Structures are given as structure tokens and as C-alpha cells.
Amino acid sequence: MIITVVTATHNAAAELPGLIACLRAQTDRGFDWVVIDGASVDATPSLLADAGDVVTRWVSEPDFGIYDALNKALRTVTQGYYLVLGADDRLDPDAIATYRAEALRSGADIVTAAVAVDDAVVRPRRGQRIRSGPPLVSCHSVGALIRRSLHDEVGLYSRRYPIAADTHFLLQVERAGKRVAVVDKVVGRFATNGVSGRDLLGALCESYRANVEVRGGLLRHTAMLVLRILKNRSRMAG
């Protein structure tokens, strides 16, 4: 079974060594790593060039943001499963082994596991029809091993959602009734200084749009958006 780690980077020289180190430390090294760099002007390309023992393919060229970069990576992945990791995300040493074992055991379309986020542990929240962020999984990055062929059915990540294309994609997967397996184990740490963390209002509004588009329920989701904005107004004001 093929597992491909996909990463979008841009001027990530400060964070990238830690990601390279955690991938080198995996107990299961039977994975590919595809990195799409958005024409970084720092040492990112040099770091990738020097990490040939773990980097399978990489390119550095202009793109239209994270999901455009992920789509470029996925066009080179034709089978198996993929795992999204940001340059500042980290995997525990047995994460790839854990994901592989559960995917082989369950045959699920998505395998999701618990993820450390700041000082908390985020677990998959199954069965909740309304929630902030992607459905089905704990986190799209770090917390979800995804079957590549799902994109053949519902499309690649939409460029109409620069922040919440993951939510839009997973809502469509949920609607299609695909199989999800849950691992009750922390597999790594998700960093919160990405675009969704920096632009919380934008993330909430895009998640709202995606939910209305895929699930309907305009009034219900509008009410939830207002409540979430009120709940997080202090964070957005800062």
C-alpha cells in the first residue's frame, strides 16, 4: 500500500528542518514525500535538495496558495493514500506505521486519528452535523490519511475556498457516504500558526459557505456562524 506525504511550503526554512527530522524518525519509512514549494526566496529549496533521503519529489515555482500547491502534488499521486503535513506540523515516530496498519485492517476511505493542538488533544467528532472546521476528521493536516481516488470522484481542492477547501472537500466525501476509520491515538502535533489560525474570521466565513453549499440549511448555518463569531470575537480582535 502506497502512502504519500504531501506538503505545501513557502519561505519555510525556519520550520522545515523539524519536519524533515520527524519524517526521518518514522519507524515505517516506506512512504513517499512530495513537496510543492511556492517559489521560496529563503533556504527552503536548499533544505529540500539536501533531504533526498526522505524527499521523493519536489518543485519550487509560483502557485496560488496552499490548496493549489496540494492539487499540484495530488496530480503526481495516482494511487494509495496521502497525508497532508505543513512545514510546522510534526508526526510522532510511529504515525505512518499506525496509519498504514489501520488502512490495511479497515480498508476505509479515510483514516483519522487524534492530534495534539496547542495544549489540547483533538479527536475525530463523528456524528455531529454542524461543527467548525472539516467534518469526519480530527484535523485535515496530520489527522487524516485520505484515499487518493476520492478526488477522482468529488474533484480536487476548490480554489474558490483559499482557507477552507479542506472543509469543502470533506463535506462532499461525507455526503457521498465514504467509510471512515478512527484511531484513538495521538499521531502528531498540528501547528496553529497557518492561514486558518491567522485569519480566523475568514476561516469561519469560508466554512459557513462550504456548509451551505454542500449541506444546505442557510438559516441554521447562518445562526451558527453568528454564534461562532461572538464566541471568538476576543481572538479576532487581537
Mean pLDDT of 212-236: 81
* DSSP output for the chain: --EEEEEEESS-TTTHHHHHHHHHT-S----EEEEEE---SSSHHHHHHT-TTT-SEEEE---SSHHHHHHHHHHT--SSEEEE--TT-EE-TTHHHHHHHHHHHH--SEEEEEEEETTEEE---TT-SS-SS-SSSS-SBSSEEEETTHHHHH-S--TT-TTTHHHHHHHHHHHTT--EEEEEEEEEEE-S-SHHHH-HHHHHHHHHHHHHHHH--HHHHHHHHHHHHHHTHHHHH-
| pLDDT band at 3; cut points 50, 70, 90 | very high
**Segment 163-183 mean pLDDT:** 95
Q: What percent of the chain has pLDDT over 70?
A: 92
Q: Which residues contact 162 (CB under 8 A, 6 or more apart)?
A: 65, 66, 67, 195, 206
Mean pLDDT of 96-103: 98
Calculate the alpha carbon distances from 9 to 53, 64, 66, 225 in Å.
Answer: 18, 12, 8, 30
* pLDDT per position as a tens digit, 176-219: 999 999 999 999 999 987 555 567 888 889 989 988 989 888 88
Q: Residue 136 pLDDT more than 50?
A: yes
Q: Are 124 and 136 in contact (CB under 8 A)?
A: yes
Q: Which residues, listed in sequence order, are joined to residue 59 by a DSSP beta bridge?
A: 36
Phi first, then psi, for residue 214 (nearest 5°) are -90, -40
What is the pLDDT confidence band of residue 61, given thresholds at 50, 70 and 90? very high
Predicted local confidence at residue 128, as pLDDT: 47
CATH 3.40.50.720 holds for 3-192? no
> pLDDT band at residue 126, thresholds of 50, 70 and 90?
low
Please state, rounded to an integer, the average pLDDT across all residues of the chain. Answer: 92
b/e map 91-124, b = 16+ CB within 10 Å:
bbeebbbbbbebbeeeebbbbbbbbbbeeeebbb
**pLDDT tier, 84 (very low <50, low <70, confident <90, very high otherwise):** very high
- What is the pLDDT confidence band of residue 222, given thresholds at 50, 70 and 90? confident
Burial annotation 59-74 (CB, 10 A radius, 16+ → b, else e): bbeebebbbbbbbbbb
Q: Which residues contact 50 (CB under 8 A, 6 or more apart)?
A: none
Q: What are phi and psi of 6, to 5 degrees?
A: -120, 135
pTM of the model: 0.92
Q: How far apart are CA 173 and CA 155, in angstroms?
A: 10
